[in-house]
């Protein structure tokens, strides 16, 4: 009989488990990243039929981010640039932290303007919370092996930096909204 350090109920990791984990992280990164790219392009240039930066600036002012134009540009650039970096897995902790902070600001604006508790169909922050939590989860997991990785921008230390930046950035976004 052999004694091991591993508890009996813990199964060894199989190659298929690792492969599906890698694929799952890729799918999550691509969806969140490309959705953010689309949102950023919508804000900045009207991709998808929106009015672009002028329309976005008016919306930002209507929900309490004033003056609207600088906030609209910043939000659009964070979504476009952060989304692209998330999709390819480059500098993921920093890019995802920026998306978390951006979505925290969006959450604050939506919560202030509605009595809806959660569901997007009722005007709630369901979508913003989905993006926020997905981006935060990617900070925690890292980009996976199917990514363009630069070790200096994606190690355990950078994940910790990403976590701190996401939390601080989220708090700052909410505070700025309430000023």
pLDDT digits (tens, 9 = 90+) for 54-95: 999 998 898 888 899 999 999 999 999 999 999 999 999 999
pLDDT of residue 1: 47
Most confident of 50-64, 118-132, 158-172: 158-172
**How far is it, in rounded angstroms, from Cα 63 to Cα 110?**
8
Using CA atoms, how far apart are residues 5 and 156, in angstroms rounded to an integer? 25
pTM: 0.86
Q: What is the CA radius of gyration of the chain?
A: 19
Task: Report, as an integer, the average pLDDT of 16-43.
Answer: 93
Peptide bond into 67 cis (omega under 30): yes
| pLDDT over 90 (residue 111) | no
Residue 142 φ/ψ, nearest 5 degrees: 85, 175
Supply the pLDDT for residue 84.
Answer: 98
């Amino acid at each position: 009989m052999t004694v091991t350090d591993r508890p009996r109920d813990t199964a060894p990791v199989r190659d298929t488990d690792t492969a599906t984990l890698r694929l799952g992280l890729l799918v999550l990164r691509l969806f969140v990243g490309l959705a953010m790219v689309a949102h950023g392009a919508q804000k900045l240039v009207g991709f998808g039929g929106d009015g672009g930066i002028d329309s976005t600036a008016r919306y930002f002012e209507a929900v309490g981010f004033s003056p609207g134009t600088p906030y609209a540009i910043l939000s659009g650039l964070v979504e476009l640039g952060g989304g692209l970096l998330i999709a390819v897995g480059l500098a993921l902790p920093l890019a995802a932290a920026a998306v978390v902070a951006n979505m925290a600001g969006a959450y604050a604006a939506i919560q202030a303007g509605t009595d809806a508790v959660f569901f997007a169909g009722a005007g709630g922050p369901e979508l913003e919370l989905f993006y926020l939590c997905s981006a935060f989860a990617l900070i925690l997991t890292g980009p996976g092996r199917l990514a363009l990785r630069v070790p200096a921008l994606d190690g355990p230390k950078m994940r910790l930096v990403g976590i701190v930046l996401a939390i601080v950035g989220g708090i700052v976004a909410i505070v700025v909204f309430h000023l």
